[in-house]
Amino acid sequence: MIKSLIRPWCIGIGGLLAAALSNQAALGADPRYPDWPCTQAKVPEISLAAVWAGPPLDDAATKWKDDPKISALVAKLAARRIPLEQAQKEISEFLTASAADKTNAGKLLFAGLFDALNAQRASVMNGLERVMRKQREAAEKIRADTLALQAVQDASPPDQAKIDELGNQLVWETRIFEDRRRVVKFVCEVPTAIDQRLFALGRTIQQELD
C-alpha cells in the first residue's frame, strides 16, 4: 500500500524540481550573474546620481563615520523596521537642530545612508545567490534520492523499511526546497525596497537643504 502511494508521487519529481529551479533562474537570466534568481535585474550597487541631486558630497563620503551623532542616526534610519515616515520626520528634526551647519550635516547624513543601505543591498543579494546555489544542490539531491527510491521499490522483494525511509526523506527535502523557493520570491523584493527607501530619504534631506 505504501509503495503504491509513494511511487506516483516520486516519479519525475526530480525533473519537476529541476524545471522549477531552471525557470526560477531564467526569470532573471543574465550571463554576468548566473546565480541571480530574481525577475528584477541585478544592479550590484545603487548609483549615487540616481538617488542624490543635492550638493556634492566631497569628503562627507569618508568623514560621516567620524561624527557619533551622524553614525547613530544613520544606523537608526537605515533599519527598515523604522517606518519611512518616521525616518523622514527624524531627518527634518535633526537638520532643523543643525541649522548652523545644516548643509554639512545633510551631506554627512546622506553619505552615511548611502553607504549603509548599499551594504544592506549587497548582503541581501549575496544571500539570494547563496540560496540559489543551495537550491541547485537540493534539486540534484532530490533527483538522486528519487532514483534510489524507485530502485528500492523495483527490487524483489522490496525493502519496505528502506522505502519508508527514503519516502520520508524525499518529503522533507521537497518541503525545504519549496520553502526556500517561496522565501526567495519574497526576498527578491527587498533590494528594490532599499533603493526606494534611500531615494526617499535622500529627497527629504535635499528638501531640507533647499
For residue 175 the three cell numbers come to 518541503
Q: Distance (Å, rounded) from C-alpha 88 to C-alpha 78?
A: 11
CA-CA distance, 206 to 210, in Å (whole number)? 6
Q: How confident is the model at residue 2 (pLDDT cuts 50, 70, 90)?
A: very low
Output the nine-digit C-alpha cell for 51: 538617488
Which of 81, 48, 91, 75 has its CA nearest to residue 190? 81
Average pLDDT over residues 170-174: 92
Distances (CA, A) of 50 to 29, 60, 135, 191, 203: 24, 18, 33, 15, 11
Whether residue 9 has pLDDT greater than 70 = no
Task: Compute the distance between CA of residue 195 and CA of residue 1 in angstroms, rounded to an integer.
Answer: 54
Domain spans, the chain: 2-42+66-209
Are residues 108 and 70 in contact, defined by beta-carbon separation less than 8 angstroms?
A: yes
Nearest one of 131, 148, 142 to 188, comparing CA atoms:
131
Mean pLDDT of 6-16: 51
